[in-house]
Chains A and B, each alone.
Chain A
Amino acid sequence: MLATVAQQAQDTQDTLAIPSVDAVALLPQLILMVGGLLLLTIVSLVKGRMPKSATTLYTVAIASASLISTIPLWHRVQNPAEGPTSLMAGAVGLDGFSLFVTWVICIGVALAALLGDGYLRREGLDGPEFYVLLLLSAAGGVTMASANDLIVMFIGLEALSLAAYVLAAMHARRIASQEAGMKYFVLGAFASAFLLYGIALTYGATGSTNLAKIQQFLSDSVLTQDGMLLAGLALMLVGFGFKVAAVPFHSWTPDVYEGSPSPTTAFMASVVKAAAFAGLIRVFVVTFPSYAVQWRPAVYALAAASLVVGAVLAVVQSNVKRMLAYSSINHAGFILLGVQAATATGTSAALFYLLAYTFMVVGSFGVVSLVGRGGGPDRHHLSSYRGLAKRQPVLALAFTLFLLASAGAPFTAGFLAKFGVIGAVVERENWSLAAIAMLSAVISTYLYLRIVGTMYFSGDEDDALERPKVRVNPAARVALTVAVAGTLALGIIPGPFADLAQDAVAQLVAAP
């Protein structure tokens, strides 16, 4: 299709310099997009005759294909002879960074799809649109991560977000889901406006929306009047801050995470967050390192506030899903530490964190989606977890692993993730932030212990043992197994993964 268009353009206008399309380099995104559209087509054609789990398998396959298609690209990028390139007239950056985020997104999509399988059936929501939206949203996320142009990034963000709004609101039988979608949408649109205004000001200040060009411009000339640029950065930070759920732009997070269907929540916490951070890093760390002196304190403030507010608010919750939502704000604070450092170390630490967090958070919300059933508003209440360890020791142990990993327990993914970002902060000799981070980790640990304690240490005395067992459908079992494996692998043999995260940022497209 693309080629045809280009061909036609070439025919009509000789002078039109259509950029060459390196389809292989775009494969990860194309697979997701085409996969989504194809699924849409298939289901509209063969509706009613498809086996129920086929869509799940299909989605996982597409995500895996996308993931696999990055491997040759990775080798290409890491090959010193070739290195990172920009494609499509400089709109897309193909570098280790974008590929790493693509992995995170693909893993998140696959796991969320697996979680969705049982959930949709259970809730009577058997619609393939869920998977279509997952794939298209992920395509938007990958676009965002690989965007080398602000406008492409914006469109990618919108694609990601619009799909996420729908995914949040798509549970027709729960008004809470629609409320969540509504809140997410209104605030998301509000934030998008800020982001866009920031892009506008940046455009005015630098004369381009292309990140490479912006960088070129900034390295060539010194702005004596940097007010417009700084205002633009500030407004973009509002937009990204919203997407990554940084305080004070976080307030949607608990409500939306709670109200959304749990697989969607897992998707939002992993994929959306990863893509948003990718955008944030691409814009701020990669493009505006020369303004790091100015923007770092602002990110510092967001990080510190997220760390503390997320942890403190999480502690007083009694709804497990909400607890995890607040804890995701705390985690966002941690990842912001890596951003705040504005160094290669910080970026690779943030990437590693995102990867680790994907496993932990998908696992956590996976368990939540299994345990929280029924119609009442308290289905995710802490008391639903009483005695879970007695009823279903394996499930409880898995949840414990995810929670402890979130707390940063040794030999889990969470530890090295935290270790990395703290290291990045320390490297910047930013002691106060490191201290705040670790203390917030202690506070949030209380929250994780509360859940673990409820599962393990209570329930002898009441009817906890007689509660019905939670049936773990095969897809969810696979998802949880993968999440467990990932959480442990990143903790016990983190070397290869940390290597990847490090290599991912060794050389970036927009970097001078």
Chain B
Amino acid sequence: MQDLLWLIPALPLAGFLILVLSGGRIREPLAGWLATAMVGASFAVTVAVFADLVSHGEEERTFTQTLFEWLPSGSFQVGFGFLADPLSITMCLFVTGVGALIHLYAIGYMHGDPKFTKFFLYLNLFVFSMLMLVLGDNLLITFLGWEGVGACSYFLIAFWHTDISNATAGKKAFVTNRVGDWGFMVGTFLVWTTIGSVNYLDISAGASGVAAVTATAIVVLFFVAATGKSAQIPLFVWLPDAMAGPTPVSALIHAATMVTSGVYLLVRLNPLLFEAGWANDVIAWVGAITALVAALIAISQNDIKKVLAFSTVSQLGYLFLAVGTGNYVAAIFHMVTHAFFKALLFLGAGSVIHGMAHDQDMRHYGNLRKYMPITAGTFIVGWLAIAGVPPFSGFWSKDEILAGAWDYSSGGKVLWAIGLLTALITAFYMTRQVVMTFFGEEKWRSLTGEGHDPAGGSAVNAAENADADLEHSPAHDQHGLTPDFEPHESPPLMTLPLVALAGLAIVGGLINLPFSDQFERLGGWLEPVIAHEHEMPGGSTLVVLAIVAILAALTGIGLALVVYVRKRIPAKDIEQEAFARGFYIDESYSRFVGGPGRRLFDAVAWFDANVIDGAVNGVGTVTQVAGTQLRRLQSGRVRGYAMGMAIGAVLLVGYAVARMGF
């Protein structure tokens, strides 16, 4: 079955090609089904390969397949090759699995969209790219996928491109990612010049011989790449804007798969990370701080997708915290569970939006559990999972990250504390979201004709996005929310994936229970890939930490209930303006880019047009002026000419005299 490895990415690619070459002749819903089938088939192949790997001994669970040489240039030899090992297959499994579910969901969600086919075409291309990223047996193929997912993300964010803000969001995502790509490329160069190969296997083999400084540099560079793709401080700003894309896109790309690729990359390079010294501290701290900051921002968001977006950023922070503390298994574990529950939450949110005439403002929601019970039920599962309530999957994975941080050498306790606080806040804002959406009054009933409340920072954006969705998704009522609007549950095509994901979100923790080695299946499975195993705190500490984590989650939920159900504390006191506006980070970026950055660019362009080109034209002008001046000597008067000749003669004879011998 290993020989079929290439089929995993090839199937989605085939789907993409069929849809492209058909030139739009394959329409709704066939295009959707085709795309879904391709991803589903890909999932099947993945499972087969997985089974094959499992059947092998632990040491033989690594397999490469090179299709052809891609960029052979002297000693730089890069094949178009795939690497199947426990790590990549794990990734593949949830990429194709969750991907297939989201495709399915999208058939329903995108119903009626004029660009239905194009949507699935992009989606298939995305899955292909993501699989290349995951399966590539060297950094360059990963980079191919890395850029591919970036481009697809760009297409899909800007999918409804007639609204310029969507287009801007797409461009922003791409450009921000490109900043990270700089790190990826330079990192790749450094790896090659250091180790002589960009193959992962060679890197693993050669990592121990890499000097600490070099390893640190490499890891920092790749971390730069990861901050771009995985939306960490300082490059996280694109992800919230990326919610402009259709909701399945948010679920697939901006929650479950693409954004985790930074983590995947670093885990891939874990042998180098081991050598990298303080780079790990950087990763851990950036992760922790991102987690906290994003969680705080999420508190004040009113757009249902924005909350989830910041939540994603925050959860990704957790992953980096885990990677930084060397807890790779936990990172992958949480990545998987997060994929389940975050995809679930996004799809749930999509279902809500779908049912609410594409209004994304949570302040217009309320009591929706009555209208869309399946969505509400599954969403609540997701909520519990992300909040870290046992036994839902999120609890196990998050707890493992926190516990893993506890013993970390550089400020492990503080990292743990930050993580814990984040967990509390996560529970809080997720509770807030659930309460605002599914419980309480039916707030759209009291909407005035004026439409949306512009207060509350990014809500403005959210509203615009909502408008955009409204305008360009003609499947539903075009009129927006009116007091007499009746929400409805989504079609089975959409709820089916919800249910499936909810199931996974509940039981996902099973793959790696911390009770004993036997239960730590994921840990065992990934062992061949992880060069240096992470030491977890001892048994009792682990239990205490777990209990504290549960308490924190419950505290967060409780607080939220106090604020939003009992309304003991005014929400305004908690939903700080600074949170709502994302600590002004994005704004200051924009201000910089629009201000000094723009001025710098303008200055360069001015310099080019006036100084450099001016100099060129200046040469011409000088010639003209010189000619005009010289021309005055040509007065037309013959005596003047004779004078010139006489002077010339004097000079020549003078020269002769100067040269003569005496």
The 0/1 profile, CB within 8 Å of A marked 1, for residues 643-662 of chain B is: 01101110011011101111
Q: Confirm or deny: A313 has a beta carbon within 8 angstroms of a beta carbon on chain B.
A: yes
Whether the pair B644, A248 counts as a contact (CB closer than 8 A) is yes
The CA-CA distance from A241 to B645 in the complex, in Å, is: 10
List the A residue with the shortest CB-CB distance to B654: A234
Whether the pair B627, A313 counts as a contact (CB closer than 8 A) is yes
The CA-CA distance from A227 to B653 in the complex, in Å, is: 10
The 0/1 profile, CB within 8 Å of B marked 1, for residues 309-325 of chain A is: 10011111000000000
Q: Confirm or deny: A87 has a beta carbon within 8 angstroms of a beta carbon on chain B.
A: no
- Across-interface contacts of B662 in A (CB, < 8 A): 225, 227
Q: Confirm or deny: A186 has a beta carbon within 8 angstroms of a beta carbon on chain B.
A: yes
Q: Confirm or deny: A371 has a beta carbon within 8 angstroms of a beta carbon on chain B.
A: no
The CA-CA distance from A226 to B642 in the complex, in Å, is: 28
Q: With A313-B631, A443-B623 as given contacts, are A227 and B648 in contact (CB-CB < 8 Å)?
A: no
Q: With A183-B638, A225-B661, A294-B659 as given contacts, are A238 and B631 in contact (CB-CB < 8 Å)?
A: no
Q: With A227-B660, A294-B659 as given contacts, are A248 and B631 in contact (CB-CB < 8 Å)?
A: no
Whether the pair A187, B638 counts as a contact (CB closer than 8 A) is yes
In terms of DSSP, what is the predominant structure of the interface of chain B? helix
Binding site for B on A (CB under 8 A): 182-183, 186-187, 190-191, 194, 223-227, 230-231, 233-235, 237-238, 241-242, 248-249, 251-252, 254-255, 294, 297-298, 309, 312-316, 443, 446
Q: Confirm or deny: B455 has a beta carbon within 8 angstroms of a beta carbon on chain A.
A: no
Q: Confirm or deny: B21 has a beta carbon within 8 angstroms of a beta carbon on chain A.
A: no
Which single member of B623, B636, B655 contacts A234 (CB below 8 Å)?
B655
Whether the pair B656, A194 counts as a contact (CB closer than 8 A) is no
Q: With A251-B634, A309-B630 as given contacts, are A241 and B648 in contact (CB-CB < 8 Å)?
A: yes
B residues 470-522 in Cβ contact with A at 8 Å? none
- Across-interface contacts of A255 in B (CB, < 8 A): 634, 636
Binding site for A on B (CB under 8 A): 620, 623-624, 626-628, 630-631, 633-634, 636, 638, 640-642, 644-645, 647-649, 652-653, 655-657, 659-662
Whether the pair B653, A312 counts as a contact (CB closer than 8 A) is no
The CA-CA distance from A485 to B644 in the complex, in Å, is: 39
The CA-CA distance from A298 to B651 in the complex, in Å, is: 9
Q: Which of A186, A190, A312 has the most CB of B within 10 A?
A: A312
List the A residue with the shortest CB-CB distance to B659: A294
Whether the pair B640, A227 counts as a contact (CB closer than 8 A) is no
Q: With A226-B660, A230-B656, A298-B655 as given contacts, are A248 and B648 in contact (CB-CB < 8 Å)?
A: yes
- Across-interface contacts of B657 in A (CB, < 8 A): 227, 230-231
Q: How far is the CB of A318 from chain B (nearest CB, A)?
A: 11
- Across-interface contacts of A238 in B (CB, < 8 A): 645, 648-649, 652
Whether the pair B623, A190 counts as a contact (CB closer than 8 A) is no
Which single member of B624, B644, B655 contacts A251 (CB below 8 Å)?
B644
Q: How far is the CB of B459 from chain A (nearest CB, A)?
A: 58
- Across-interface contacts of B641 in A (CB, < 8 A): 183, 187, 251-252
Whether the pair A234, B660 counts as a contact (CB closer than 8 A) is no
- Across-interface contacts of B634 in A (CB, < 8 A): 251, 254-255, 313
Q: With A183-B641, A187-B641, A251-B644 as given contacts, are A237 and B661 in contact (CB-CB < 8 Å)?
A: no
Whether the pair B623, A251 counts as a contact (CB closer than 8 A) is no
Q: Which of A225, A235, A251, A316 has the most CB of B within 10 A?
A: A251
Whether the pair A234, B656 counts as a contact (CB closer than 8 A) is yes
Q: How far is the CB of B30 from chain A (nearest CB, A)?
A: 55
The CA-CA distance from A313 to B623 in the complex, in Å, is: 9
Q: How far is the CB of B359 from chain A (nearest CB, A)?
A: 59
- Across-interface contacts of B648 in A (CB, < 8 A): 238, 241, 248-249
9 new A-B contacts at CB < 8 Å, known A187-B641, A190-B645, A227-B662? A186-B638, A194-B649, A225-B660, A231-B657, A234-B652, A238-B649, A297-B655, A315-B623, A315-B627
List the A residue with the shortest CB-CB distance to B625: A316
The CA-CA distance from A73 to B658 in the complex, in Å, is: 44
List the A residue with the shortest CB-CB distance to B628: A316
List the B residue with the shortest CB-CB distance to A247: B648
Q: How far is the CB of A187 from chain B (nearest CB, A)?
A: 6
- Across-interface contacts of A297 in B (CB, < 8 A): 655
- Across-interface contacts of B623 in A (CB, < 8 A): 312, 315, 443, 446
- Across-interface contacts of B655 in A (CB, < 8 A): 234, 297-298
The CA-CA distance from A444 to B653 in the complex, in Å, is: 31
The CA-CA distance from A312 to B638 in the complex, in Å, is: 21
Q: How far is the CB of B140 from chain A (nearest CB, A)?
A: 44
- Across-interface contacts of A443 in B (CB, < 8 A): 623
List the B residue with the shortest CB-CB distance to A190: B642
Q: Which of B641, B652, B662 has the most CB of A within 10 A?
A: B652
Smallest CB-CB A-B distances: 7 pairs: A316-B627, A251-B641, A230-B656, A248-B648, A227-B660, A234-B656, A234-B652
- Across-interface contacts of B645 in A (CB, < 8 A): 187, 190-191, 194, 238, 242, 248-249, 251
Whether the pair A237, B652 counts as a contact (CB closer than 8 A) is yes
11 contacts between A and B (CB under 8 A): A186-B642, A225-B660, A227-B657, A227-B662, A235-B652, A235-B653, A238-B645, A249-B644, A312-B623, A312-B630, A443-B623
Q: How far is the CB of A196 from chain B (nearest CB, A)?
A: 13
Q: How far is the CB of A130 from chain B (nearest CB, A)?
A: 25
List the A residue with the shortest CB-CB distance to B622: A312
Q: Which of B638, B640, B648 has the most CB of A within 10 A?
A: B648
- Across-interface contacts of B649 in A (CB, < 8 A): 194, 234-235, 238
